[in-house]
Amino acid sequence: MIAVVFNYATPSALESGRDRALLGLTGDGRRPVRMHGKVRRNLFLLRFALRALGELIWSGDSWAPFLDPIITVHPDRLLFEAFNGDQSAYALVTLDMDLFELEGELQPGTTNIDFTAWLWGALGELRTSRETRLRIGPEGLDLRTELAGGRFEPRVELPESWFRGFLELQGAMAMAGTRLSVRPVDLLSAIRFLRYSKARMSPRAMRYELEPDQPARLVLEPWEHVVPLEGAGHGYAEPRTIRVWGRRRLRLIEPLLPFADGIDVYLKGRGLPHFYAVKLPDITFVLGLSGWSGRSWTQEASFSLLAGRPKAVDPTRLEASARLLAERFHLQEAGLAAELGIEPSEAGRLLERLVRSGRALYDVERRVFRGRELLHEPLDEARIFPPDPRLEAAERILEEGRLQVELCEPQETRRQRRLPSPDGRITRELIYRDWRVRGRVAGRQTEIVVGQLGRILFGTCECTFFQENLLQKGPCEHMLALYEAAVPGLQDPPSSARAGPEAGA
Amino acid sequence: MEERLRKMKPAELERQVKSLLVEPIDDRELRARLEELAGHFGFSGLTSFWGPRLFQRNRLLFRPLILARFGTHQWRGGWKWSPVRWSPELESWLRTADAADELELTRRLLEWRLLDRSGWNHRKAQPLFRQELRARIRPELTPGQRGHELRKLDSFLLALDEETALELYRQDPRAAAPFILKHMPWIYGKPVLWEDLFRQAVEGKDEDFAWKLYRRQVDYPRWEKDALELCRTISAPDRLLEALEQRHPASARGNDMGTGMLRLLEQRGREVLPYVFRHLRDVWKPWLGRGSYGKLLELARQREWLDLWSALLRVCADPGEFNREVRGLAENRSLTEQEVMLRLLSLAGISREWNGAGFGIAQVHLLEEATALALYERSPTLLRGPFRTHLQISPWGPGYPKLVRLLLQKEDEELLEFLASRYLAFPSPPVEVGHLADHYARLKDAGAFARRAAGVLGRVPAYLLFNYHEVIRKNRLARLLFERSAEDYLEDPRAVADLIEGSEIHVQALGYRVLGLADPRASSLAVEHLALLLGTLLRPLHRPTRVLALRALERAASTDLEVARRVLRKARQAMALPDKRYPKEKLLGLIGAILGRFPDLRGPCEQPMVYRAS
């Protein structure tokens, strides 16, 4: 268990008069941030988004404890994050700063805010007819009510598995995968179908079926009910099916969908987390579903193993990356690589490591890493990610030399794109390269496909563990051993080539 | 089939299962047919027969069935059940499952074996569980393997003793610590701290585990002694608070922690206040006996610790005591105005709250009418602001008749709106509801009705009106605001916004009704609120509410081609929703009305077709 103590000056509250309202969110006094602003527009959407966040916090099937929502104030965005007690759902609410007319100085940073069911109920009183201000700070509401409710220091004890789940889900957001842009009404159709049709037996998954040159479609099991996702292009040249779980929690975004402009669905692979970015004017609500609740998700080593053993990183560079992220607020791999004078792949590893240790988050919409310290004190990574028997077994296989790599070859997908450059827009042929590795590991035929970011995308093995679980509980020891033997030494050839008129020049 | 299954006798069921298992059918068909039989409540009692066979046949395919229907007691007909004896066949099954690291199945089989050996006596089974655990956790295991072995014995029946816990902890403190904490014995009598284990953890600098163990096992006298010792030995306040927190018992176990807290406060004064604040709930509530609550309050008064005094009153006082203090302060003329305000302010707010698993409860002390009157007389701002939460009315309570009369005299619209929003939900309204109804009826003549009435309705909390028709029949105020004033709300656009954004669905429905009126003002307001109205096409709504919303949308769409296009696009999307009670015929009516009004919006298949005789 990890104990976290917050220091709140007053409870968060909504003060609502006849013409004015003030939503005061009290931050942890030990990590002060400040953001005061008048809400310019879309107040009712803000109300719905914050209430959906609250519903997610208490949506677990158990009374398991959870962390108060984490709020990150950056000059361009305001981010709220929450992860529920049974580790099944994660939310990231991103508000554009344009939504507010800022008052006074902005103090960027990350803190936790007091968010109770009482406040959740009070949020229903936000009205567009009242001039509404949002105040985030350690002081809570203004001086007039400073003492109402009094200072309090709640303490919550969370299991390591909760943090593991949170960080793994966060890490999954940065993984490569499939993105579908779907209409809100299509997702709503699926949610309503599930509302009226209860499946009392498995299979209770949903499948995204991606046929070449056709929009994707969503299939609800066990009825095999098909929801066509109109206009959801995917670009796959071969049929592909991605099966995911956790659909019951999709209901958490139901109140937002009637007002949404669109939804981006991010699929990371079979049985892996899936994300739904609901786009509202000035607001994006990202719902992440782990597909599991409670122990199954985090007691078994899950998809963090898809990247093999945690890569050793240079601690000095890691610290430098964290500092840079804190200064710049957000960075991409290329930006960090340029700043530190390192390869983009190493920059990617550094950023992934920061996410894994709770010091950064991945903004899936803008595709940048943002600085965010999860807790006041740094998390002990060794405690959050304890030794895993599969990794131990893989290491034994490697030590004993019971492994033979038979094939290690790149598979290329090429696409032409026009890219901005200092000399104007140029046409390049981008090469997306996955590595196919095959070998015989401890007497079993094993094959893996490793994506550009060095993660196992999929694979097969003859062992019982794989046969029984596929990749739902992460790769087996044989895949891990094969990965460790073949992948770290891979050389990355150029990832784009000249194309179009420039090709002949 | 279900009827036949229900009537099936135990012997018949057993015969069917046995014959099914020897039939030459493939695994999938066997599973399907077994699933049918599994509907019989006696099926799980035959686990000892079908379990090992299915596991051997195809453990991947049958694992979910085995785990879902696993049972250790056999049905003998009627109400008779008896435990199934452990057999060599089960022993062999356990060995296979254990070797294959089938964690959940191994755990269940181990429970079965050990309970059978102890004659199904849980208490007698405890030593057997511990023995099994000691045999399995060997020093040569890797941390990962040890984790697997611990999970195989992660049974609710396992209660560790200190000796076993110590042995486990010596081998692998990191893996053992959470396991030990999870399997500590239930404490029936006086708790006993496992001193050796505690010492070992402290010596090993495993402070986290050591203090968790201490908090779970320490008895009250020991805690009090240790806490007072800390007060004597640690001078730095921060370190003292940390040490006290480390040692605070996980459960008060019927002890009033207030006595210990009083002694701490007497010794170290304000330095220990943050610790006391965090654990005020462990001070006995008055209905469980006075405990040390009174003495703590007295101490806070004597030493003029306003924060402790107010926190004690909020968290530990009964409603009578709370009201007495507030009234006393409100009527106090000896203290300065600033001091009175400060004290009153510190008493406002939530007493206790519980949040989790889909709902939250917050407790506040309700103000009695005399207290509310005294407070209003002293400071109306306080009653309108922080103390408004403390004004709540229930159909069974006395209400606030005098306060309502006073507010009407003073024309304090803000508080009147708040109280009226509560009163209008009463199906058996008290007399003050009549006064309020008269007041709002008079406002109609004065031209200030819309904003004020919408202010009342906007404050109605969600789900407050669960018996709308009865309330409308019996409550004059509700009848006036909901049913008899629709057109009046059109006078103020902000009033209409308040209605459609209301928390209560009947308030929203009123808003839609207002926007659906055949009035040019309604049409322009409907366009103004188009974003919200469009959402109603896809939101889950009851049929009558949706019909009102559709009418409002029709009004909006009738004004302008671009608006009509937006409404039409969303309405067409809504046709795809699988909602059972969605009034699709009304939706079709809306689409038809828009297409009739704006023929340019018609699609190729929506053009009118005129048939003529050839």
Which residues of chain A have a CB within 8 Å of the CB of B143? 386-387, 392
Provide, rounded to the nearest whole percent, the portion of chain B with pLDDT above 90: 49
Task: List, for residues B409-430, the tens digit of each pLDDT value.
Answer: 998 998 999 999 999 988 888 8
For testing contact with chain A, the best of B211, B350, B415, B580 (most A CBs within 10 A): B350
Q: Give me the residue from A153, A259, A389 closest to B277, CB to CB.
A: A153
Q: Provide the CB-side half-sphere exposure for A334 (13 A, CA).
A: 1
B414, B501, B578: residue with CB nearest A128: B501
Judged against a pLDDT cut of 80, whether residue B432 lies above it is answered with yes
- Predicted confidence (pLDDT) per residue in B484-508, tens digit: 989 999 999 999 999 999 999 999 9
Min Cα distance B70 → chain A (Å) is 17
Residues of B in contact with A88 (CB under 8 A): none
**pLDDT tens per residue across span B82-114:** 999 999 999 999 999 998 888 889 999 999 999
Which pLDDT band, with edges at 50, 70 and 90, does A423 fall under? Answer: low
Judged by CB atoms closer than 8 Å, whether chains meet at B345 and A145 is answered as yes
Taking the C-alpha atoms of residue B124 and residue B119, their distance in angstroms, rounded to an integer, is 8
Q: Are B215 and A3 in contact (CB under 8 A)?
A: no
- Please state whether B280 falls in left (phi above 0), alpha (psi between -120 and 50) or beta: alpha
Grade residue B534 by pLDDT with cuts at 50, 70 and 90: very high
Q: Which of residues 320-379 of B touch A (CB under 8 A)?
A: 342, 345-346, 348-350, 353, 355-362
Examine the pLDDT at B17 and tell me if it is beyond 80.
yes
Cα three-residue angle B172-B177-B182, rounded to 5 degrees = 135
Under 8 Å CB-to-CB from B118, ≥6 apart: which residues? Answer: B124, B125, B128
The candidate with the shortest Cα–Cα distance to A142, out of B329, B345, B315, B273, is B345
Phi, psi for B239 (deg, rounded to 5): -65, -35
Cβ contact A158:A68 at 8 Å? no
CA nearest to B216, candidates B192, B233, B242: B192
Residues in chain A closer than 8 A to B459 (CB atoms): 125
- Angle of CA points B307, B308, B309, to nearest 5°: 90
For residue B364 the two structure tokens come to 């506040």
Lowest mean pLDDT among A122-126, A407-411, B198-202, B363-367: A407-411
Q: Read off the pLDDT of residues B34-44 as tens digits, 9 standing for 90 and up.
A: 888 888 888 88
Asked if A158 contacts A65 with a C-beta cutoff of 8 angstroms, the reply is yes
Beta-bridge mates of residue A92: A81, A286
Measure Cα distances from B592 to B381, B433, B559, B573 in Å: 54, 45, 15, 15
Work out how many CB contacts closer than 8 A connect A with B.
158
Which residues, in sequence order, are bridge partners of residue A225?
A220
pLDDT of residue B474: 92
Tell me the β-bridge partners of B587: none
| d(CA B449, nearest CA chain A) in Å | 14
SS3 sequence of B544-581:
HHHHHHHHHHHHHHCCCHHHHHHHHHHHHHHCCCCCCC
Phi, psi dihedral angles at B89 (to 5 degrees) = -65, -40
What per-residue confidence (pLDDT) applies to A300?
A: 43
- Whether residue B142 lies within 8 A of chain A, CB to CB, comes out as yes
**Using CB atoms, which residue from B311, B417, B497 is nearest to A150?**
B311
Domain ranges of chain B: 538-600
Residues 149-208 of B with CB under 8 A from A: 151, 174-175, 178, 208
Q: Do B144 and A44 touch (CB under 8 A)?
A: no
Shortest alpha-carbon distance between residue A329 and chain B (Å): 33
For residue B74, give the 3-state DSSP assignment: strand
Strand partners, A107: A34
Average pLDDT estimate for B469-476: 93
Q: Do B357 and A62 touch (CB under 8 A)?
A: yes
CA pair distance A68, A82, nearest whole angstrom: 7
Residue count of chain A, please give it: 505
Span A152-159, average pLDDT: 69
- Judged by a CB distance cut-off of 8 A, whether residue B64 touches chain A is yes
Pairing verdict, β A131-137 and A20-26: parallel
Assigned token pair, A194:
């599930």
- pLDDT confidence tier of residue B280, bands split at 50, 70 and 90: confident
Greatest pairwise CA separation for chain B in angstroms:
111
pLDDT tens for each residue of A223-276:
888 999 998 888 887 888 888 888 888 999 999 999 999 999 999 877 778 999
CA distance A217 to chain B (A): 15
Please give the Cα distance from B93 to A23 (Å, whole number): 61
Per DSSP (E only), the strands in B459-594 are none
A118 to B350: CB separation less than 8 angstroms, yes or no:
yes
CA diameter of chain A: 76
Of B315, B224, B241, B227, nearest to B275 by C-alpha is B241
Q: What is the dihedral of CA A472, A478, A484, A487, to 10 degrees?
A: -70
Please name which of A401, A331, A385, A387 lies closest in space to residue A361, comparing C-alpha atoms.
A331
Which residue has tokens 């492994």?
A: A403
Report the distance separating Cα A272 and Cα A388, nearest Å.
Answer: 19
To test the contact with chain A by mutation, choose from B140, B238, B313, B538 the residue with the greatest count of A C-beta atoms within 10 A, namely: B538
User: For testing the chain A interface, which of B36, B247, B573 should be mutated: the one with the most A CBs within 10 Å?
Assistant: B573
DSSP class of residue B98 equals: H
Start-end of H helices in A233-367: 295-299, 315-328, 333-340, 344-356
d(CA B182, CA B172) in angstroms, rounded, equals 16
State whether B349 and A149 contact (CB < 8 Å): yes
User: Residues 147 to 206 of A: which have CB under 8 A from any B CB?
Assistant: 147-155, 159, 183-186, 188-189, 192-193, 195-196, 202
Is A95 in a helix, a strand, or coil? strand
How far off is chain B from A298, nearest CA to CA, in Å? Answer: 14
Which helix (H) or strand (E) is A109 found in, with range?
strand A109-112
pLDDT digits (tens, 9 = 90+) for A17-34: 878 899 999 888 888 899
CB A353 within 8 A of CB A322: no
Residues 6+ apart with CB under 8 A from B458: A125, A127, B421, B498, B499, B501, B502, B503, B507
Q: Are B455 and B435 in contact (CB under 8 A)?
A: no
Nearest chain A CA: its distance from B613 CA (Å)? 41
| Whether A117 and B360 lie within 8 Å, measured CB to CB | yes
Q: Which of residues 267-296 of A touch B (CB under 8 A)?
A: none
| pLDDT of B277 higher than 60 | yes
DSSP letter, residue A310: P
Q: Both tokens of residue B22?
A: 């020897």
pLDDT at A505: 45
pTM over 0.90: no
* B residues 92-111 closer than 8 Å to A (CB): 100
Mean pLDDT score, A402-423: 73
CB atoms < 10 A from the CB of B278, how many?
18
Distance CA B227, CA B264 (A): 8
Chain A residues with CB-CB distance to B245 below 8 A: 155
Tell me if B145 and A389 make a contact (CB, 8 A cut-off).
Answer: yes
Tell which residue, A415, A405, A430, A417, has the closest CA to residue A493: A430
Of A58, A159, A193, the CB nearest to B358: A58
Q: Chain B within 8 Å of A421 (Cβ-Cβ)?
A: no
CA gap A13, A146 in Å, rounded: 11
Give the DSSP per-residue string, A383-445.
HHS---HHHHHHHHHHHHT-EEEEEEEEEEEEEEEEE--TTS-EEEEEEEEEEEEEEEETTEE
Question: What mean pLDDT is predicted for residues A135-154?
Answer: 58
Report yes or no: A441 at the B interface, CB cutoff 8 Å.
Answer: no
CB contact under 8 A, A202 and B64: yes
Residue B347 Cα distances to A7, A145, A150, B297, angstroms? 20, 11, 8, 14
